[in-house]
């Protein structure tokens, strides 16, 4: 009898689970693995700000699911899951129905607006591929409109950006934007003074998951980049062309061109709906046991952003970060294999996080990394290095070593406006026509050398004998002993023979 | 007393007039020249389709007015002209008022919808910089949405494009789009069969200004590129997601994602308004005499798209093409100089057009060029060559020779997706990091050679003597006669001296 495993969501957690399961069940034809996502691609959510601010091409954060699962026995379905029937063990998509024996739920998150009036209608978010694309078009659009605007007040309004939320997403977006602004000012002949970027948060420091010292560093850097940082400030409402915020007593009404909402997330719709049948906890997440199974239905594994789990001895549930997706995927995959095969022992989920990294633009970052009990801060260059290193480790798991080169190319070497942390030269691109003389010269030399070799008789007698013989000898030397003594020995043999013949 | 010349509109005609006037009045401080445009840049309208379809970067069609008039005595004002008071000789902008003694009106055109219901609200146009940018974002957006769309019918609708009008703009846009589609299909993993491009026109052939044979060639090429060409077909109405068209009896209702309106133009608002005071003719244009002055007010010169002039012996008014802008600008500038200085004789406008070129994508074009009485068709490659050559001639007039290199770079060598008529290799770009080994090697050789030269004593005694002496001799040879005899002479002199001393 067949066992059907269905994974809902092809985010960080979903993809890794599917890959691990496919590896373990490679030779077991009785197990089928299906992964369902509404997009035909996986999005690297942590890099959205890079696309939104025009630094990295959009193809850099989109990974084709076909490519991820090429050559693997995973059925990729493009569908939108609208309901899950836990009684009948059926996932209901808008196109199809999928029966399952084991379900992995990792549908990810969506922005939450905390009831701020007008936020959902008027603010831009940064939580999906679509969001990044909208902002990528919106930001230069504002500069373009401002360039053609005759009214000075309106021009300033168009050039005003408010980022709500000073967590990861907020500060990374603001930093990226601040770095983009000079490029845009130059392109559209606009003075830098007319542009204003603000970051607003209700808390008293930026990225509260960092230690206070690093939060202060982030704040200083943002200010240095020309970003106004408003802390202890609550956003009251957002309109088509304004934002209202206050610090308790006073409320400020400011005209604005673009509000980017980066203030918080909650579970995706389908997870919230599923949580009604299972056990919900904290903003639509689902409570799981130590093996990452729903506490209500042990055939349902909930991982990544969708899980709510407080490890023994801890106070807070595991955070909604990429590292949690990676670790929970590994544990869930292992436990599903145990459940399906009946062999081995289930693992208890013991996440161990190695820290967080925040990048402000393409050339500056702060990091607080290490092991659970011992973390340290890294200087900017190393922080950026670690950030990219972690992405690369992720890629190896996802796509194999091949992807590394294309990631490096996209993140380091083809960055626009030289905004790469490895510096201007390496991220620049040379029009190939400038290399024409070099290529023509190399080609000419190649043809000339070729003709010479043909005239020397390369078509009629083997000419690489010496070369391959040299290689043969080199291998023999290695096989027969060290190079030096082998040489001595081979040299000595005829001499000894000579001596022998002389003696006779 | 000062003479004030005001030019309304910085299109092809306005810029050339301003430049020519600035040159002629360079030393005459009594004449001031003001040019007014609502944008701080000039747009190359004939290349809009290239930006709309993502082939050329938007900076390739935008030329900063500051740069155009750098070092010239022309006052560039960014303003929107709302009214002209011909009695008081005053141009009224939304920011300022400008008095004039001579006015040059060349405010260009805008699309006209011939009363087709829904066209203005729902169709995209291709008549300004903004239009091109909107389409540039819209087209990939449709593919992106289609990639994430689960409903097959809706997916097809998103991927349906209708171009209304098979004149220049229409067929160039359709050709460009057809060339762009495979790139987008590849990027978003969409099958080419799902995409549909149609061109609709009420006339019976494409680009009616071409001879019938070339029209047929354009039609064949479009069909080969996968474009459906519907001739003798009138568009009845356009909605948010549909278009209705018919050929007299039947009406077809088709679902569509994007309608691009390229069916016709009329004079800009300000010209239409001015035409009420002066004499209007044909879609808001203004009637001019043979010297290009309004027939009602001889201080007002009307040129480019805004003029309505039927040359003696002709039936039709001069066409609204770039060549007409260039020629009328030259005539108007000359006649204004005559009027201001009271010297010389005014020229009668005698336009002579050298033909038209239509490009279908970046690699194919047809052209019908030559002299008024003798025109011939050009094969595709030559047609593209002529098209670019004409643009370059225009640039030389506009910006001097400097701009040529940047035009060539943008149009031939940095084209995206290798869609350049000079071919894939030349338009490709190499990430500079690939050249690192070469640069490091060249640097090492340079340092090594430098050290060697220092050790040879280059710091203590002059080593380039031989080199410069060689040059000295070469110059002397040229100055004293041909190389051969000079050498002989200088060789002969000591010999002769020797002979002399021997003889004595």
C-alpha–C-alpha distance, residues A74 and A4, integer Å = 11
Q: Which pLDDT value is given to residue A2?
A: 87
Please tell me the distance in Å from A429's CA to the nearest CA on chain B: 4
Kindly state whether B412 is in contact with chain A, defined as any CB-CB distance less than 8 angstroms.
yes
pLDDT of residue A306: 92
Q: How far is CA B252 from CA A457, B116, B255, in A?
A: 73, 15, 10
| pLDDT value of position A503 | 43
Query: Does A460 lie at the interface with B, CB-CB under 8 angstroms?
Result: no
Instruction: Tell me what pLDDT residue A501 has.
Output: 45
Token pair for A201: 């948060």
pLDDT for A53: 86
The count of CB pairs under 8 A between chains A and B is 92
Residue B39 touches chain A, beta carbons under 8 Å: yes
In chain B, the residue whose alpha carbon lies closest to the alpha carbon of A65 is B189
CA angle A460, A461, A466 (to 5 degrees): 155
3-class secondary structure per residue, A206-248: CCCCCCHHHHHHHHHHHHHCCEEEECCCEEEEECCCEEEEECC
**With an 8 Å Cβ cutoff, are A150 and B79 in contact?**
yes
A89-93, A158-162, B427-431, B434-438: the lowest-pLDDT one: B427-431
Mind listing the pLDDT tens digit for each residue in A167-203?
889 999 999 999 999 999 988 889 999 999 999 999 9
Look at domain A3-109+266-347 and name its CATH class: alpha beta
Q: What is the DSSP letter of A414?
A: S
Nearest to B197 by CA among B142, B246, B247, B136: B142
- Model pLDDT, residue B59: 80
Is the Cα torsion angle B198, B201, B205, B208 positive or negative in sign?
Answer: negative
Q: Is B169 in contact with B126 (CB distance < 8 Å)? A: yes
| Helix or strand holding residue B258 (H, E) | strand B258-261
Out of A41, A130, A144, closest to residue B133 by CB: A144
Number of H helices, E strands in chain B: 16, 27
DSSP code string of A31-47: EEEEEEESSSEEE-GGG
- Distance CA(A245)–CA(A239), nearest Å, equals 12
Residues A170 and A205: beta-carbon distance below 8 Å: no
Q: Which two tokens stand for residue A72?
A: 């693997």
pLDDT mean across residues, chain A = 84
| Least CB–CB distance from A189: residue in B40, B94, B414 | B40
Q: Is A242 on the interface with B (CB under 8 A)?
A: no
Are A130 and B144 in contact, with CB atoms under 8 Å apart? yes
- Select from B66, B149, B150, B407 the residue whose CB has the most chain A CBs within 10 Å, as the one to mutate to test that interface: B150
Task: Give the span between the Cα atoms of A302 and A292, in whole angstroms.
Answer: 6
Cα–Cα dist A445/A114, whole Å = 69
CATH classification (class only), B3-111+266-347: alpha beta
- The pLDDT score that the predictor gives to residue A10 is 93
Checking if the pLDDT of A363 tops 80, the result is no
Look at A381-385, A439-443, B89-93, B442-446 and tell me which has the smallest mean pLDDT: A381-385
CATH 3.50.50.60, chain A: domain bounds? 3-109+266-347
| Number of separate helices (H) and strands (E) present in chain A | 16, 27
pLDDT per residue as tens digits for the range B410-464: 666 666 665 666 555 666 676 666 777 777 778 788 888 888 888 887 777 777 7
**B497 exposure class (CB count in 10 Å sphere: 0-12, 13-18, 19+):** exposed
pLDDT of residue B417: 64
Question: Which strand ranges, in their side-by-side order, compose the sheet holding A365-371?
Answer: A355-359, A365-371, A374-378
Q: Which two tokens stand for residue B482?
A: 């041909």
Quote the crossing angle between the two packed helices A322-341 and A380-399, to the nearest 10°.
30
B126: number of Cβ within 10 Å? 23
Kind of pairing, strands B307-308 and B355-359? unpaired
Reduce the DSSP state of residue B412 to 3 states and report it: helix
User: Closest partner residue to A429 among B38, B39, B432, by Cβ?
Assistant: B432
Strand order in the sheet with B374-378: B355-359, B365-371, B374-378
> In chain B, where does the domain assigned CATH 3.50.50.100 lie?
3-111+266-347, 119-263
Nearest residue of B to residue A426 by CA position?
B433
According to the model, what pLDDT value does residue A228 have?
Answer: 95
pLDDT tens for residues A7-22?
A: 999 999 999 999 999 9
Closest CA to A320 of A291, A298, A346, A353: A353
Kindly identify which residue of chain B lies nearest to residue A432, measuring between CA atoms: B429
Average pLDDT on A279-305 reads 90
Q: Please indicate whether, in this complex, the C-beta atoms of A38 and B148 are within 8 angstroms of each other.
A: yes
Q: In angstroms, rounded to a whole number, what is the distance separating the alpha carbons of residues A37 and A91?
A: 12
Asked if B138 reaches chain A (Cβ–Cβ under 8 Å), the answer is no
Nearest beta carbon to residue B433 from set A38, A66, A413:
A413
Q: Is residue A500 predicted with pLDDT exceeding 70? A: no
Q: Is the model's pLDDT at A50 over the cut of 90? A: no
Contacts with B429 from chain A: Cβ below 8 Å: 429-432
Contact across the interface for B432 and A425, Cβ inside 8 Å: yes
Three-state secondary-structure class, residue B247? coil
Cα–Cα nearest to A36, from A86, A88, A92: A92
Please report how many Cα atoms fall inside a 13 Å half-sphere around the Cα of residue A42, on the Cβ side.
26
pLDDT of A491 over the 70 cut: no
**Residue-by-residue pLDDT tens, chain B, 504 positions:** 589 999 999 999 999 999 999 999 988 889 999 999 999 899 888 888 888 888 888 887 888 888 888 888 999 999 999 999 999 999 999 989 999 999 999 999 999 998 899 999 999 999 999 899 999 999 999 999 999 888 999 999 999 999 999 988 999 999 999 999 999 998 888 999 999 999 999 999 998 888 888 899 999 999 999 999 999 999 999 999 999 999 878 899 999 999 999 988 888 888 988 888 888 887 789 999 999 999 999 999 999 999 999 988 888 888 888 888 988 999 999 999 999 998 889 999 988 777 778 888 877 888 777 776 677 777 766 777 777 777 767 666 666 666 666 666 666 666 666 566 655 566 667 666 677 777 777 878 888 888 888 888 777 777 777 777 777 777 777 777 654 444 444 444 444 444 444 444
When pLDDT is cut at 50, 70 and 90, the band that residue A487 belongs to is: very low
The token pair at A239 is 């309109």
> A44-48: long-range contacts (C-beta < 8 A, 24 or more apart)?
A44/A391, A45/A11, A45/A12, A45/A127, A45/A128, A45/A322, A46/A322, A46/A391, A47/A391, A48/A126, A48/A127, A48/A128, A48/A129, A48/A131, A48/A132, A48/A169
Confidence of residue A415 (pLDDT cuts 50, 70, 90): low
**The pLDDT value given to residue A443:** 80
pLDDT at residue B328, as a whole number: 93
Find the mean pLDDT for residues A324-345: 92
Q: In a 10 Å sphere around its CB, with 0-12 CB exposed, 13-18 middle and 19+ buried, how is residue B117 labelled?
A: middle
* B458 alpha carbon, distance to own chain's centre: 53
DSSP-derived secondary structure for B349-407: P-----EEEEESSSS-EEEEEEETTEEEEE-HHHHHHHHHHHHHHHHHHHH-THHHHHH
CATH of domain A119-263: 3.50.50.100
From chain B, the residues in CB contact with A141 under 8 A are 133, 137
Q: Comparing B425 with A378, which gets the higher pLDDT?
A: A378
Dump the DSSP string for A112-129: --TT-BTHHHH-EE-SSH
Per-residue three-class SS string for A322-382: HHHHHHHHHHHHHHHHHHHHCCCCCCCCCCCCCEEEEECCCCCEEEEEEECCEEEEECHHH
Q: Could you give the CA distance from residue B332 to residue B24 in angstroms, rounded to a whole number?
A: 13
Q: Would you list the DSSP string of B182-204?
A: HHHHHHHT--GGG-EEEEE-SSS
pLDDT in tens, A418-430: 566 655 566 666 6
The Cβ-side half-sphere exposure at A380, using a 13 Å CA radius, reads 12
A117 touches chain B (CB under 8 A): no
């Amino acid at each position: 009898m067949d066992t059907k495993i269905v994974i809902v969501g092809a985010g960080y957690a979903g993809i890794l689970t599917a890959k691990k399961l496919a590896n373990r069940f490679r030779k077991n034809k009785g197990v089928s693995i299906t992964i369902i996502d509404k997009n035909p691609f996986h999005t690297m959510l942590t890099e959205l700000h890079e696309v939104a601010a025009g630094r990295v091409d959009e193809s850099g954060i989109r990974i084709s699911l076909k490519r991820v699962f090429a050559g693997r026995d995973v059925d990729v379905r493009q569908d939108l899951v609208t309901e899950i029937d836990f009684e009948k063990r059926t996932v209901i998509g808008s196109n199809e129905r999928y029966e399952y024996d084991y379900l992995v739920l990792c549908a990810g998150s969506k922005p939450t607006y905390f009831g701020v009036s007008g936020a959902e209608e008027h603010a831009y978010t940064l939580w999906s591929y679509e969001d990044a694309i909208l902002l990528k078009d919106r930001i230069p659009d504002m500069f373009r409109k401002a360039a053609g605007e005759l009214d000075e007040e309106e021009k300033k309004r168009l050039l005003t950006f408010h980022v709500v939320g000073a967590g990861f997403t907020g500060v990374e977006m603001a930093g990226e934007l601040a770095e983009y602004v000079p490029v845009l000012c130059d392109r559209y002949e606009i003075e830098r003074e007319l542009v204003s970027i603000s970051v607003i948060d209700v808390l008293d420091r930026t990225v509260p998951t960092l230690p206070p010292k690093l939060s202060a560093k982030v704040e200083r850097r943002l200010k240095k980049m020309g970003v106004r940082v408003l802390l202890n400030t609550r956003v009251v409402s957002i309109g088509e062309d304004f934002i209202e915020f206050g610090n308790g007593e006073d409320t400020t009404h400011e005209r604005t061109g673009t509000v980017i909402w980066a203030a918080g997330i909650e579970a995706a719709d389908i997870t919230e709906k599923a949580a009604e049948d299972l056990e919900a906890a904290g903003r639509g997440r689902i409570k799981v046991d130590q093996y990452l199974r729903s506490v209500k239905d042990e055939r349902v594994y909930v991982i990544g952003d969708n899980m709510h789990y407080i490890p023994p001895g801890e106070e807070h549930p595991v955070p909604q970060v990429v590292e949690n997706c990676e670790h929970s995927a590994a544990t869930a995959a292992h436990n599903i294999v145990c459940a399906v095969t009946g062999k081995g022992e289930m693992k208890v989920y013991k996440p161990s996080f190695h820290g967080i990294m925040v990048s402000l633009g393409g050339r500056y970052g702060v990091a607080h990394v290490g092991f659970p009990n011992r973390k340290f801060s890294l200087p900017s260059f190393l922080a950026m290095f670690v950030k990219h290193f972690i992405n690369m480790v992720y890629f190896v798991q996802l796509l194999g070593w091949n992807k590394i080169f294309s990631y490096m190319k996209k993140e380091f070497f083809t960055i626009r406006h030289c905004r790469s942390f490895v510096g201007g030269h390496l991220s620049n691109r040379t029009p190939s026509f400038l290399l024409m003389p070099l290529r023509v010269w190399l080609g000419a030399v190649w043809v000339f050398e070729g003709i010479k070799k043909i005239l020397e008789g390369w078509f009629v007698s083997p000419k690489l004998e010496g070369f391959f013989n040299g290689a043969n000898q080199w291998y023999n030397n290695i096989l027969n002993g060290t190079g030096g003594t082998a040489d001595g020995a081979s040299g000595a043999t005829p001499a000894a023979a000579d001596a022998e013949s002389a003696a006779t």
